Amino acid sequence: MNNISAIAGVVIKEMYRRKDFYVLFVLTALITLLLGSVRFFNDDLIVRYLKDVCLLLIWMSSLVIAITTAARQIPAERESRTIFPLLAKPVGRGELIMGKFLGCWLACGLALLVFYFFFGMITASREHAWPLVSFFQEIWLHWICLGVVVALALLGSIIFAAPSSNATICFVAVAFILFAGGHLSHLANGMRGMAGIIVYVIYYLIPHLEWYYSAQDLVVHDWGRIDWLYWGVATIYGLLYSGFLLSAAWLAFRRRSLTS
């Protein structure tokens, strides 16, 4: 556990030394504040469009941070050959994967806290209300979702040759799941033969990240909190998928030669 936390600590330090987070945060804040300064029909109480755009930017920024951070972890260690002294500590390959995952996931969590604090400030300034329970559920589900994304990018970093190709594939896969993941069963219903079966298999195989993403609509439109039971189900579902992807990453990494 010490090894895992030490590796995770290095990853978190790396994140706050890099400029990615700061640039994305400033961009998100700037766009949101610019949009907030626009007055529609002389009405100061209009807020939902602002919440919507701000949450969209937060989601995009967090996905960029999660995927780019996770995708470069192991390839960077291999390229700079620091992986050899690291594994000679002794640190097992499983611990390395786990440490990298935990570091990326915690770093994403810290970034989310900053982003959502800004979102909360914007919301409170317009709505004069702070639905803390809804915010907590939204941040938590967002973080769980990023856990799956980080695990996916770590698995990709072992399978694919370059971090750039891995990041691109991860972005495409996540965007596809968010956009169409929940509708694949409807599409499969309209298909015949093998194509329908394949789409059904994909539907049941993919992690349904759209659950977590769509929860932002409940915050934007003030629908109140999610039933705790289903919030718990989504949490366990996300953790199980992260665990599955990390196990796959460990299995792939265990047999992988580090010199090739």
Partner 1 sequence: MIRWLSILLLVCCFTLATTFEPQFTRFHREHDSSGSVFVALMGDSRRMFANHFFAEADAYFHSGFYPTIFDTPAPEEPGHLTETQEEHDKEDHTHEETFLGKPSDWIDRVGRHFYPTVHTHLSNGHEREILPWLELSAEMDPRRIETYVTAAYWLRTTLKKPDQAERFLRQGLDANPDSYEIYLELGRVYFYNKKDTRVARNLYNLSLQKWRRADAAGGGPDGHVYEEILGEMVRADRDAGDLDQQLADLQELLKVSVSKDTLQRSIDEVKAQLARRPPPH
Residue ranges that bind partner 1, judged by CB under 8 A: 38, 40-43, 45-49, 141, 180, 182-183, 185-187, 189, 203-204, 208, 210-212, 214-215, 217-218, 220-223, 226-227, 230, 233-234, 237
Q: By C-beta, is 99 or 238 nearer to partner 1?
A: 238
Q: What is the CA radius of gyration of the chain?
A: 20
Contact call for residues 55 and 119 (beta carbons, < 8 A): yes
- Nearest-approach distance from CB 51 to partner 1, in angstroms: 10
The token duo for 61 is 């920024």
In the chain the first and final C-alpha atoms are separated, in Å, by: 29
- Number of Cβ atoms within 10 Å of the Cβ of 75: 18
- Nearest-approach distance from CB 220 to partner 1, in angstroms: 7
Q: By C-beta, is 2 or 42 nearer to partner 1?
A: 42
Q: By C-beta, is 1 or 44 nearer to partner 1?
A: 44
- Nearest-approach distance from CB 64 to partner 1, in angstroms: 23
Q: By C-beta, is 46 or 258 nearer to partner 1?
A: 46
Q: By C-beta, is 171 or 237 nearer to partner 1?
A: 237
- Nearest-approach distance from CB 38 to partner 1, in angstroms: 8
Q: By C-beta, is 115 or 212 nearer to partner 1?
A: 212
- Nearest-approach distance from CB 25 to partner 1, in angstroms: 24
- Nearest-approach distance from CB 39 to partner 1, in angstroms: 10
